């Protein structure tokens, strides 16, 4: 398998098939912290996985489009139910979401290396809307990656929130650009700190 293929649907479908549930089933703490208080509208959950963030957003009144490249993840997510959520299989490295369409674009731990794909996510935020792009702080956690012989490319190669921030021009206001303790660290998970970018599209 080429390195590029580590981040395609086959890779992710395989990862989801390895376990009945890959993630905690709880919404990400950063999403809860940053989206609480935003007026609900259209939300895009980027790389939604098993759907906990999408379900939380829908419960808070958002109309959610939840995208993932893995059909296995999407079927699992849909099986949990949840109203006002469209589960959509899309490879965001290949196809961009609709432009200027979402009041919130939320991406948590989304592995993407293509600048044009990141720009597609930025373009999907409607004027006035919010981008929330959250990654792992790799200090210490990379040791775990190496010791456990984890396969795949170095995760630091994926776009990090600070690199996404550097792509934002005058049309954006950066609200949060920081590293912070992760609210709920799933058992055994080496990633204890989040890197958080929250920005508002002004026009």
Ligand X SMILES: C[S@@+](CC[C@H](N)C(=O)[O-])C[C@H]1O[C@@H](n2cnc3c(N)ncnc32)[C@H](O)[C@@H]1O
Residues that bind ligand X (CB under 6 A): 7, 12, 23, 28, 47-49, 67-70, 73, 90-93, 108-111
The nearer residue to ligand X, 5 or 128, going by C-beta atoms, is 5
CB of 67 to ligand X, least distance (A): 6
The nearer residue to ligand X, 12 or 102, going by C-beta atoms, is 12
CB of 18 to ligand X, least distance (A): 13
The nearer residue to ligand X, 84 or 90, going by C-beta atoms, is 90
- Cβ neighbors of 182 (< 8 A, separation 6 or more) are 29, 30, 191, 192, 193, 194
- Cβ neighbors of 176 (< 8 A, separation 6 or more) are 34, 196, 197, 198
CB of 188 to ligand X, least distance (A): 15
Segments of the chain assigned E as strands: 42-46, 63-68, 85-89, 102-108, 125-136, 172-181, 193-201
CB of 85 to ligand X, least distance (A): 14
């Amino acid at each position: 398998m080429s390195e590029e293929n580590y981040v395609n649907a086959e890779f992710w479908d395989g990862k989801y098939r390895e376990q009945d549930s890959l993630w905690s089933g709880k919404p990400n703490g950063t999403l809860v912290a940053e989206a609480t208080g935003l007026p609900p509208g259209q939300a895009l959950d980027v790389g939604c996985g098993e759907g906990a963030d999408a379900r939380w957003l829908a419960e808070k009144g958002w109309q959610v489009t939840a995208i993932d490249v893995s059909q296995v993840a999407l079927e699992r997510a849909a099986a949990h139910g949840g109203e006002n959520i469209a589960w959509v299989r899309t490879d965001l490295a290949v196809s961009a979401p609709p432009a200027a369409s979402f009041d919130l674009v939320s991406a948590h731990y989304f592995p993407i290396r293509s600048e044009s794909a990141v720009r597609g996510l930025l373009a999907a935020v409607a004027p006035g809307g919010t981008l929330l792009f959250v990654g792992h702080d790799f200090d210490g956690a990379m040791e775990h990656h190496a010791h456990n012989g984890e396969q795949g490319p170095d995760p630091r190669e994926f776009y990090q929130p600070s690199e996404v921030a550097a792509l934002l021009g005058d049309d954006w206001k950066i609200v949060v650009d920081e590293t912070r303790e992760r609210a709920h660290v799933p058992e055994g998970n080496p990633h204890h700190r989040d890197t958080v970018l929250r920005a508002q599209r002004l026009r």
